[in-house]
């Protein structure tokens, strides 16, 4: 028997970026807010003190910062003819766990999706005709212009460093000329570039492209955000991605919101408790709260007026399924929407090796880079190319962590004295150029519940069915050729191409940019949530995160996830609380 707890106004499931933003916004409205996080408490001075060297073995290779897949994981297969098997060890992507979620271990590359990304279906149909058979791309239901103030707010919260390319419709030198119009300059200047970025900028400019500094949540100078949280300048230690920052130099929940939020009397954060499902009333059209369990196995019913799912994309989708909210997508019939349009991204890269120039990649940061955007989204004419979408091409100096980084030229043995010699000769003289490709939704890529495997509480695991599509393969081949042209002009001795072809493999790390499953849209027949991220079926339930993306753009998703969260928070504050019920009439 579950113990019933005292009522709260709002319960948030998970505590990463989206939950922290919502908690700050809704406590400001005077509501009592409870966040339930299944992982541990984490803060900067306790868990990532600057007096202790980052532990690559502990945090990355032993996965202590990520979801515990001994208790709960995902099963994976490439297609429906295969039997899905559990991911016993995270590889391709790294779901966060604990206070701060993935905001703790992200790189800090903070993008705005292009205006055309939000209308991908209608825009591409209008320009190129009908979409390919099996492609299920659709419009978001919200526009870039509507989200622009919320992008701006997140960038100021985080102290993003960069250079505007489009200020109120006026193209600016040195920035991204393809970005949507922004209302203000970045709050901080770009990071200091290294030798590799200068070579990339020179090579791309010679090709007629327009390089610009990548937008960075790693601080280029001391910064105090609008909440009064202070961040320090980055020390370029190279331990951003997959690690917490001990210098208060990377924007995260811990450095931008939590110091203010945790002091509020109307906010409570409960750790080491996992939400099992959303509780519904007899009509199954209203959430009454959630049921959660602590580490001793004690179960609790937490009543609330408003339930908001703020966990990772796959976990939000699974909670919807386990709670019986909406119909689970069936690719054989096309019926159902929960789990539909699972997307990822497709990457390729080129390592550049110099003969007598030092790149010193160990002096880096998660978002230290130069980028070109000519081949992203619909920034170029796709006529006759056989694909839609694209991606940015960049030279990031994120790290040269000693266990993970092994830059050796083509033909080097994988072990032994020749490998050691190649490592010694090239470790300080190599860099990489990468293509960061979009992912268009297809009917055969989806999420559902596994019929065989269960988690520690006896609940079915999430099953992922995913493979690269013809659109992915054609797009990646195009981007790789453009990337190769750039790499060959950077002045190196040789390059090594790292292609991403063949079937999708869940083990090599790529990005933690999983999207879809709880997609947003214009009506209940094409989406799980409406344009304000409110459930069509249960109006006092909202769903945050990248799961609401109908497809994935050629950028890192965090900036757009945050903008959508602020957009939803504004709708809750200005509309829902005044008149609880559907914000969009079906």
Q: Which residues are catalytic?
A: 513
Taking the C-alpha atoms of residue 136 and residue 337, their distance in angstroms, rounded to an integer, is: 12
Q: Which phi and psi (to 5°) does residue 577 adopt?
A: -65, -30
Cα separation, 327 vs 204, whole angstroms: 48
Rounded CA gap, 499 and 502, in Å? 9
For the chain, the straight-line distance linking the first and the last C-alpha, in angstroms and rounded, comes to: 37
- DSSP character at residue 103: G
Distances (CA, A) of 372 to 181, 200, 201, 214, 263: 17, 10, 9, 9, 42
Read off φ and ψ for residue 566, nearest 5 degrees: -65, -40
Q: Which residues pair with 462 in a beta bridge?
A: 74, 449
Beta partners for residue 442, in sequence order: 135
Q: The tokens 């001793």 sit on which residue?
A: 296
Q: Per DSSP, what are the bridge partners of residue 391?
A: 437
Q: Kindly give the residue spans of alpha helices, DSSP state H, lying in 170-292.
A: 195-206, 253-256, 258-261
Q: What's the sign of the alpha-carbon dihedral 6, 12, 15, 18?
A: negative
Q: How crowded is residue 444: how many other Cβ atoms within 10 Å of its Cβ? A: 15
Phi, psi for 182 (deg, rounded to 5): -115, 150
Q: For residue 91, what are its two tokens?
A: 């590889």
Locate tokens 């610009």: which residue?
A: 212
- DSSP helix/strand/coil, 271: coil
Measured CA distances, 328 to 112, 318, 453 (Å): 30, 10, 18
């Amino acid at each position: 028997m579950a113990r019933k707890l005292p009522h709260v106004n709002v319960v948030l499931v998970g505590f990463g970026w989206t939950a922290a933003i919502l908690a700050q916004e809704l406590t400001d409205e005077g509501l009592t807010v409870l966040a339930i996080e299944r992982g541990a408490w984490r803060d900067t001075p306790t868990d990532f003190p600057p007096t202790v060297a980052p532990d690559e073995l502990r945090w990355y290779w032993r996965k202590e910062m990520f979801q515990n897949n001994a208790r709960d994981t995902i099963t994976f297969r490439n297609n429906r003819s295969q039997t899905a098997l559990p991911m016993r060890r995270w590889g391709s992507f790294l779901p966060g766990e604990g206070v701060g979620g993935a905001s703790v271990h992200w790189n800090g590359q903070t993008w705005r999706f292009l205006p055309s990304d939000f209308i991908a279906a209608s825009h591409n149909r209008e320009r190129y005709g009908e979409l390919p058979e099996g492609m299920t791309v659709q419009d978001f239901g919200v526009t870039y212009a509507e989200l622009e103030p919320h992008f701006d707010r997140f960038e100021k919260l985080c102290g993003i460093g960069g250079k505007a390319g489009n200020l109120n419709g006026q193209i600016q030198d040195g920035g991204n000329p393809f970005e949507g119009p922004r209302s203000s300059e970045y709050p901080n200047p770009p990071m200091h570039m290294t030798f590799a970025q200068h070579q990339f900028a020179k090579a791309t400019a010679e090709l007629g492209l327009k390089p610009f500094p990548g937008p960075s949540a790693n601080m280029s100078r001391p910064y105090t955000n609008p909440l009064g949280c202070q961040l320090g300048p980055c020390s370029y230690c190279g331990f951003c991605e997959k690690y917490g920052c001990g210098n208060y130099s990377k924007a995260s929940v811990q450095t931008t919101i939590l110091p203010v939020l945790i002091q509020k009397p109307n906010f409570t954060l409960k750790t080491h408790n996992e939400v099992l499902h959303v509780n519904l009333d007899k009509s199954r059209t209203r959430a009454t709260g959630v049921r959660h369990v602590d580490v001793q196995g004690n179960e609790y019913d937490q009543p609330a007026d408003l339930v908001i799912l703020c966990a990772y994309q796959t976990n939000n989708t699974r909670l919807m399924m386990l709670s019986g909210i909406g119909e689970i997508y069936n690719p054989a019939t096309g019926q159902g929407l929960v789990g539909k349009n699972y997307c990822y991204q497709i990457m390729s890269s080129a390592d550049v090796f110099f003969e007598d120039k030092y790149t010193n990649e160990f002096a880096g940061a998660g978002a230290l880079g130069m980028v070109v955007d000519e081949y992203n989204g619909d920034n170029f004419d796709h006529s006759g190319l056989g694909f839609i979408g694209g991606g940015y091409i960049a030279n990031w100096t994120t790290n040269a962590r000693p266990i993970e980084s092994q830059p050796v030229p083509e033909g080097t043995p994988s072990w032994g004295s020749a490998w050691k010699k190649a490592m010694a000769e090239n470790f300080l003289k190599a860099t990489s150029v990468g293509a960061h490709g979009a992912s268009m939704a297809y009917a055969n890529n989806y999420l559902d519940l596994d019929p065989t495997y269960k988690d520690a509480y006896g609940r079915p695991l999430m099953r992922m069915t995913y493979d690269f599509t013809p659109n992915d393969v054609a797009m990646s081949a195009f981007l790789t050729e453009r990337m190769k042209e750039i790499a060959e002009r950077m002045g190196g001795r040789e390059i090594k191409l790292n292609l991403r072809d063949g079937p999708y493999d869940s083990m090599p790390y790529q990005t933690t940019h999983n999207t879809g499953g709880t997609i947003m849209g214009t009506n209940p027949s094409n989406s799980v949530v409406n344009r304000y991220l409110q459930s069509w079926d249960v109006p006092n339930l909202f769903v945050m995160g990248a799961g609401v993306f109908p497809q994935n753009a050629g950028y890192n998703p965090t900036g757009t996830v945050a903008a959508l969260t602020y957009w939803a928070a504004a709708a809750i504050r200005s509309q829902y609380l005044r008149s609880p019920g559907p914000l969009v009439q079906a």
